[in-house]
Amino acid sequence: MSTVVCKFGGTSLADGNNIKRVTDIILADPCRRYAVVSAPGKRFSSDTKVTDLLYACYQESTEKGNCSETFAKIRQRFLTIVKELGLDFDMNPILDQTEREIEEKKSADFTASRGEYLNARIVAAKLGWTFIDAKDIIFFDKNGAFDEQKSYPLIAERLRKVGNAVIPGFYGTDANGNIKTFSRGGSDISGSIIARAVNAELYENWTDVSGFLACDPRIVDKPEKIEVISFKELRELSYMGANVLHADAIFPVRKGDIPIKIKNTFRPEDVGTLILPSKKYTPQGNLVTGIAGKKDFTVIFLEKSMMNSEIGFARKALSVLEEEGVCFEHMPSGIDTLSLVIKSKFLKDGVLDRIITKIKEQLAPDYVRVLENIALVATVGHGMANSVGTSARLFSALSEAGINVRMIDQGSSELNIIVGIDNDDYEKCVRAVYYEFFCANK
């Protein structure tokens, strides 16, 4: 029998009714042997995710020495879930202990991880499956990176012994033995790690949409669904903000050539999106697969005659960033020009001014210009590599929509074209690109 690892996101597990839906899905296929769960998410749009309540608990407990006010809300949510599920499971002692530990440990990561921990205990109880704590099987090294060598054999051994298990997502143990979380949305990474460790045939990622859509559904109403997508396309799209799947979730399964399937908990009959490793992927015949983007970048534009023949120019520019501890997103270049695209949040508190001063001193450019409040929009698809005129279509669509393109970066893989535009034009830009490539009779 093949093994499927399934991960369920916060909305899928927001209340007792939804958790019942999830356990029905898990039990409907005996191949679904290991389930990775998130903390309860929003039940309605103005609701607060349990993870956000937990961060508020941490805040409250650092300010007041206890978190009783916010923790009461969390307690209520979990007790209601247990009641809705009709479980004979007294959560009060576990919740008391959790509250005490949050107050004692004074760790943001430990506190945030409790949403997944508590929810996994409930899902395991409902299924009658073993609960395996992520802290005992997922480890980080001393640099804070996921420790594959230590974790994979342990996961494989522990899970093989039990046959079926529920594992909380989002966290593991750091090199000092403390709980550490991945970044937000990180349960997707936990699921991918478990799938790789047990060499699953498939990693199912269950969420609240019927698959990966060609662009953000909050910007375009009912965008087309992507049926099949390659790991490379997924990486570009998720890194650029299509947050259906955490951008780092791809790495563990990619190494094991394990396909991912995005499925909708609320419409399990829908086929979803299949994400395939390069080996198993055949081009789907479409020009553009998807569009994604992010706001709030700064572009430092440098111009210097004969830059191309000046040995070490780019290295010097990057070492200025390194000295300031700043990483860059993109670095498009021309014969005499170089642009550094950086997340604006890294340039606060005088960092930008220091970088510009150092660049002027150390690189002596003819011209330096800083563009702030820039959004990046990526148009992604394997089909673009073999097709003449895609960029021309893209740029004429943007110009028709009255969008001023401030920067262009066409990746060397020809898999994507990234444009930099003003933050205010972001939504308009995504719509213009979508209508150009997805709506035949626009």
* Closer residue to ligand ASP (CB): 12 or 61: 12
99, 133, 174, 216: which one binds ligand ADP (CB under 6 A)? 216
| 213 binds ligand ADP per the rule CB under 6 A | yes
Q: How many helices (H) and strands (E) does the chain have?
A: 13, 15
* Closer residue to ligand ADP (CB): 289 or 298: 289
Q: In this structure, are strands 228-230 and 202-207 parallel, antiparallel, or unpaired?
A: unpaired
Number of residues engaging ligand ADP in binding (CB under 6 A): 19
* Closer residue to Mg ion (CB): 50 or 421: 50
Among positions 14-33, residues that touch Mg ion (CB under 5 A) are: none
Residues listed for the chain: 442
Contact 127, 157 (CB under 8 A): no
Q: At 75, which amino acid appears?
A: R
Nearest distance from C-beta of residue 174 to ligand ASP, angstroms? 17
30, 86, 153, 217: which one binds ligand ADP (CB under 6 A)? 217
**Rounded CA separation 349/335 (Å):** 32
Q: Which does 186 bind (CB under 5 to 8 A by kind): ligand ADP, Mg ion, ligand ASP, none?
A: ligand ASP
151, 181, 190, 207: which one binds ligand ADP (CB under 6 A)? 207
Burial 273-307 (b: 16+ CB within 10 A, else e): bbbbbeeebeeeebbbbbbbbbbebbbbbbebeeb
Q: Which does 170 bind (CB under 5 to 8 A by kind): ligand ASP, ligand ADP, Mg ion, none?
A: ligand ASP
Q: Which does 98 bind (CB under 5 to 8 A by kind): Mg ion, ligand ADP, ligand ASP, none?
A: none
State which residue has the least CB distance to Mg ion. 185
Q: Which does 217 bind (CB under 5 to 8 A by kind): Mg ion, ligand ASP, ligand ADP, none?
A: ligand ADP
**Rounded CA separation 49/208 (Å):** 15
Can you name the residues that pair with 274 across neighbouring β-strands? 228, 261
**Rounded CA separation 421/437 (Å):** 19
| 215 binds ligand ADP per the rule CB under 6 A | yes
3-state secondary structure of 435: helix
**Rounded CA separation 345/297 (Å):** 8
Among positions 178-237, residues that touch ligand ASP (CB under 6 A) are: 184-188
Nearest distance from C-beta of residue 189 to ligand ADP, angstroms? 11
6, 13, 39, 384: which one binds ligand ASP (CB under 6 A)? 39
Number of residues engaging ligand ASP in binding (CB under 6 A): 14
Among positions 93-122, residues that touch ligand ASP (CB under 6 A) are: 115
* Closer residue to ligand ADP (CB): 243 or 337: 243
Among positions 171-190, residues that touch Mg ion (CB under 5 A) are: 185
Contact 9, 207 (CB under 8 A): yes
CA distances from 204 to 3, 20, 95, 116, 265 (A): 11, 18, 30, 18, 11
* Closer residue to ligand ADP (CB): 209 or 415: 209
From 87-95, 157-165, 210-218, 341-349, span contacting ligand ADP (CB under 6 A): 210-218
Work out the widest C-alpha separation in the chain, in whole angstroms. 75
Smallest CA-to-CA distance from 270 within 321, 309, 322, 213 is with: 213
Q: Which does 49 bind (CB under 5 to 8 A by kind): ligand ADP, Mg ion, ligand ASP, none?
A: ligand ASP
**Rounded CA separation 143/137 (Å):** 18
Contact 343, 239 (CB under 8 A): no
212, 346, 426, 438: which one binds ligand ADP (CB under 6 A)? 212
Which parts of 37-107 fold into alpha helices (H)?
Answer: 50-64, 68-84, 92-105
Smallest CA-to-CA distance from 204 within 193, 215, 213, 192 is with: 192
Q: Which does 70 bind (CB under 5 to 8 A by kind): Mg ion, ligand ADP, ligand ASP, none?
A: none
In sequence order, what E strands does 128-226 have? Answer: 130-131, 165-168, 171-173, 179-181, 202-207
Nearest distance from C-beta of residue 100 to ligand ADP, angstroms? 29
From 23-31, 106-114, 242-250, 294-302, span contacting ligand ADP (CB under 6 A): 242-250
From 83-91, 166-174, 241-249, 391-399, span contacting ligand ADP (CB under 6 A): 241-249
**Rounded CA separation 209/313 (Å):** 46
| 169 binds Mg ion per the rule CB under 5 A | no
Residues of this chain that bind ligand ASP (CB under 6 A): 9-10, 38-39, 49, 51, 115, 169-170, 184-188
Residues of this chain that bind Mg ion (CB under 5 A): 9, 185
Residues of this chain that bind ligand ADP (CB under 6 A): 9-12, 38, 41, 185, 207-209, 212-213, 215-218, 242-244
